[in-house]
Amino acid sequence: MKHFDQRVAVITGAAAGFGKAFADMGAQLGMKLVLADIQGEALDAVVADFNARGVQAIGLRTDVSRSEQVQALADAAMARFGRVDLLFNNAGVGAGGLVWENSEQDWDWVLGVNLHSVIHGVRIFTPLMLAAAAQDPGYEGHIVNTASMSGLLNAPAMGVYSVSKHAVVSLSETLHHDLGLVTEQVRCSVLCPYFVATGFQLSNTAPPTRSQQIAQAQSGKAVGSAKVSAAQIAQLTFDAIRDQSFYIYSHPEAMAPVQARFEAIMNRRNPGDPFAGTGVTGGRQKLIDALRG
C-alpha cells in the first residue's frame, strides 16, 4: 500500500499507546478512522479531538475478546465508510510472574485480548478486504497484527504474555502464506516491538504474588525508561506497510538473542539467557536475586 489518503483504517486499542499513535499517523496521511477501545471515555475524547481537527473518525467501545463486538466494529466501519483498507489488530494487555502462579482468569484475560481479538479481526475483516479486491483491481488492503519481542523470545516471569504473543506471530505468518495463495492485493505484517514508552503495565486479575509484583515492577521500569516512542513505532509501521515488509521490530539489538534462540533449537541446546545482548543488564540475575532475596 503506497497511498493512504481517503483510505479507511480500523484500529483497536486506539485510545492510547500504539493505537493512538497509529491513529495520529493515519490522520496526518488523510485517512478515515474507525477507532475501538474498551475505555469508552478515553476513546470518546480521542474521537472528539480528531473530529475537531476535521478528521473523519468514529469510535466504538469494543471488548475485542468478544467476536460479536468485533463484528459490530466491522459493521460500523462498512456502514459509515463502505470499505476497510487497513486493519490494526492492536489491543493488548499483559500479566507476569512465575507461570504456574497465573490464575485461570489471567490466562483467559490475556489470551482473550491478545490472541482471540486477532483471531476475530482476521476472521471478520479479511473476507471484507478480499471482496473489495475482487471488485476493484486497484484495491490494496493491509493487516497489521501487534505482537511483541515476547513473541520471538521467552523471558522468565512473562509466560502468559509470551504465549499470547508467540501465537500472534504464528497466526500472522500463516496469514501471510494463506493470503499469498489467493491474492496479491491484501498483505499483512506482524509488529514485534521491544520496550517502548507507552505506559503499558503488567497486571493480574487477582492480588499479585511476590513473583508477579517483581515482574510488574521490572516491566514498568523498563517501559518507563524506554527511549523509543509510540510515534516512532507508528512511523516504522507505516513505512513497513509501504514497503510490503512483514516483520517489524523496533530494537535491532534485541534480535541477537532471537538468533541465539533459534541456533539453540537447531543445535539442541537448552534455552539461553533471553536478555543477553539486549542492553538489559543482568535481567535474569536481577529476577533470581529478587525472588530468592
Active site residues: 161
The rounded distance, in Å, linking the Cα atoms of 156 and 291 is 12
pTM of the model: 0.95
The pLDDT of residue 279 is: 61
Contact 12, 36 (CB under 8 A): yes
Sheet holding 186-192, edge to edge: 57-61, 32-37, 8-12, 86-89, 141-146, 186-192, 247-249
Chain mean position to CA 56: 24
Q: Which helix (H) or strand (E) holds 54?
A: none
Q: Identify the structural domains of the chain with CATH numbers, from first to last.
A: 8-292 (3.40.50.720)
Q: What pLDDT is recorded for position 6? A: 97
The strand pair at 8-12 and 141-146 is best described as unpaired
Strand segments (E) across the chain = 8-12, 32-37, 57-61, 86-89, 141-146, 186-192, 247-249
Please tell me whether residue 105 adopts helix, strand or coil conformation.
helix
Give pLDDT, residue 242: 98
- What is the pLDDT, as a whole number, of residue 49? 98
pLDDT score, position 280: 60
Distance CA 141, CA 9 (A): 10
User: Which residues does the chain have with pLDDT short of 70?
Assistant: 277-283
**What local confidence, expressed as pLDDT, does residue 253 receive?**
80
pLDDT digits (tens, 9 = 90+) for 243-270: 999 999 988 888 999 999 999 999 999 9
